[in-house]
Amino acid sequence: MPPLLDRFKGRPKVFIEEIEHSFLMEYDEDIMIQITAMAIFVGTIFLFGLLSPRRLKALGGEHLLNLKSLNDVILFKEVFLAYLSAAVLEPILAIGSMEEIEPIKIVIELFTLGSTCLWIWILTDAFDFQDVTQFYKYHVDIQKEQSKDPERYSWLKLKDLDKSSKVERKMLSGSAKRDIALWFIIACVGAPWLPGVVKHQDVIHAYVILFCWTILHHLSRRATVWSSGYLTTFIFPSTALMPLEYCLPLMDVADTVEDIEWLENYREFLVKRTGVELIIES
């Protein structure tokens, strides 16, 4: 058992109470400035996202997709994910190797762990197009067969394409549960510049993640842009990343892309699903 946990073996309640006591007694005044500033920043960006309908209006019409640039995005995503996969273990090891309880360090490490896991989920979701191809297969190819004999295929229940498309378009114009990962990272980078106990070395992963996101964001915009300005897609990562899962099937020429007729059908599906008319450049 790690040295930190030795004297609390079998007494988890005592462990929690000591962390709470130490945190409140030693760090209350020092950290409140940094916590308040981080909360205000995240809250302000969240309200800005709620009160800005322009991103939803920008979603639609013709948008260029450059397949060569999309390949660059895929390659750098692997670098980004490799770093996150390595970084996710460090907070756990840091907590387990503590000789004495340092409440603020434990809190920082836990938040670092949560943020890293959230970024892994965001990138995995954005670059996994299985849900897109599944939806296309069922609502285009299979639905055509079902419509010929509805009674025979009554066991197959397909969602209304128009209703589900409205939900999907709202997600593509911004998803707070995904975007908050970046807001938290920016807040972490800013915290050490304010008076308080959080130092630059405590948030080194935040610096690296922000640097990687800056590169990935730029590469993503070179591949395709479905939303509004550069700063908007930077602050709201979902607007830059989530459209990629609709573009990635076009890279899979071995199993997905069949011929020009398939491309034409897929473009029509995208228009119904997202309102976007892709101009494909290869």
Q: Region 102-112: what's the mean pLDDT?
A: 77
Check if the beta carbon of residue 70 is closer than 8 Å to that of residue 224.
yes
- The lowest-confidence range among 66-75, 126-135, 216-225 is 126-135
**Which pTM value belongs to this model?**
0.80
Distance CA 59, CA 52 (A): 13
Q: 207-232 pLDDT, tens per residue? A: 999 999 999 999 999 999 987 788 88
Write down the pLDDT at residue 25.
46
Phi, psi of 175 (to 5 degrees): -130, 110
Buried b / exposed e along 241-250 (16+ C-beta atoms within 10 A) = bbbbbbbbbb
d(CA 214, CA 248): 21
Determine whether 135 is exposed, middle or buried from the number of CB atoms within 10 Å of its CB (0-12, 13-18, 19+).
middle
Q: Taking the domains of the chain in order of start, what are their residue ranges?
A: 3-281
Q: Which residues pair with 278 in a beta bridge?
A: 63
pLDDT in tens, 260-280: 888 898 999 898 888 888 999
* Cβ-proximal residues to 44 (8 Å cutoff; 6+ apart), any chain: none
pLDDT in tens, 132-165: 888 888 888 888 888 888 888 888 888 877 777 7
- Tokens coding 56: 């939803």
State both tokens at 121: 């989920």
- Could you tell me the two tokens for 192? 């050490």
